[in-house]
Amino acid sequence: MSAPPASRAPSSATFARWLHSFVPAPVTVRWRERVRSAVGALIGIFFTGTMMKLVPGAATLIPLLVAPMGASAVLLFAVPASPLAQPWSIIGGNLVAATVGVTCALLVKDPVVASALAVSIAIAGMFALRCVHPPSGAVALTAVIGGPAVHALGYTFVLEPILIQSALLLVGALVYHAATGHRYPHAQRLPAAERTPTAGGFTRADIVAALRRQSELLDIDPEDIEAVLREMQLQAQEEKLRRTFQALTCADIMSQPVIAATPSTSIPRALQLLRQHSVKALPVVDAGQRVIGIVTRADLLGLTPRDLRQTLRHWFSIAAALTPPRVADHMKTHVQTIPATALMSELVPLFAGAGHHHIPVVDAEGRLAGIITESDLVGGLYRQAAIQPTAA
């Protein structure tokens, strides 16, 4: 008695997966682009209908707007990168379909048979002339079942309204895309570009050859595939960099041991340390090796021998002592430090955004453990990049 439910389970799961296949993929288009597309279609259709009113006899003899133009507007304004939305596709496809539709309507009396033949032959003609445009199927159908008004036009239907409205809608799309800074049309590249390697070492000729081997028409231009490949390569590099940041800590890239100074270190001695060790900054630590300040070469550049003599005279006049100027008098007391266990990713905003050039690294007890410069950060990235391919 328990066998039937078990046998029905796989069928139910298969049916559920089949139903799930109907769920559309997430739309990746940004809201700004969606609004731009909708406004473009509004302007395009309004422009086309308004201009049709200026055509002699349009108010009584010619439809101001035929339904397929709405479908063409979707392609021209919502998916302008599609090969099905390019200028030759809309003009050529609609002309072919209108011509075929009118011919079938005149030669075949049965409207159902005429409709089927019109759409079928129109598709074949569009493939032959490389102007496949899905709304053109509706153009062929309109020519057959559009009613007495359309039938009365005969082959005039091809030019008025189809050619005129297609051209007007195309003009509206060209102007609107140019005004909004959007690329349209997506023209073919020069043949020489086919030999230029793209992301992953592919050439455009490789992409075209792969598309030709497909068993069905893919609604994507080779150039767009090439652009997507480049974006994928950039995304992969960014992800790799992010993983690299997460893998390394400040302790992995910091310079150590650190040449440091104390508050009582004299300015001449600090200058000597900077020159001797070819560094540009000295962390200042207290007796417990905790960072309390930092002094850089730039802080002491003004203390030339002449300025140093002036500083000494100042000290002599005020303190009446022979003690030379100290680091404590010139160090910056607001010091940006970072724990040795911090991820290297935390350094990026400090160097890139806050403008730091030297960041002391402290251990768990807050004692000076090392120092990181911009060169250390770049060197860490370089070492990681060199290690990863070897490990792979």
pLDDT score of 308 more than 70: no
Burial of residue 35 (CB within 10 Å: 0-12, 13-18, 19+) is: exposed
- Tens digits of residue pLDDT in 135-192: 999 999 999 999 998 999 999 999 989 999 999 999 999 999 999 988 899 765 545 4
pLDDT score of 315 more than 60: no
**What confidence category does residue 321 fall into, taking pLDDT thresholds of 50, 70 and 90?**
very low
- Tens digits of residue pLDDT in 369-381: 999 988 888 887 7
Asked if 294 and 285 touch (Cβ cutoff 8 Å), the reply is no
**For the chain, which domains are there?**
28-179 (no CATH), 191-240 (no CATH), 250-391 (3.10.580.10)
Q: What is the mean pLDDT of the chain?
A: 81
pLDDT at position 198 is 55
Share of the chain above pLDDT 90, in %: 37
Q: pLDDT: is 228 or 196 the higher one?
A: 228
H helices of the chain, in order, are 3-20, 31-52, 68-78, 87-107, 111-128, 135-145, 148-153, 156-157, 164-179, 204-212, 222-247, 250-253, 267-277, 297-300, 305-319, 347-348, 374-391
- Tens digits of residue pLDDT in 349-359: 777 766 778 89
Cis preceding-peptide flag for 56 (omega within 30 of 0): no
pLDDT at position 190 is 47
pLDDT at position 390 is 47
**What confidence category does residue 383 fall into, taking pLDDT thresholds of 50, 70 and 90?**
low
**What confidence category does residue 44 fall into, taking pLDDT thresholds of 50, 70 and 90?**
very high
pLDDT at position 113 is 97
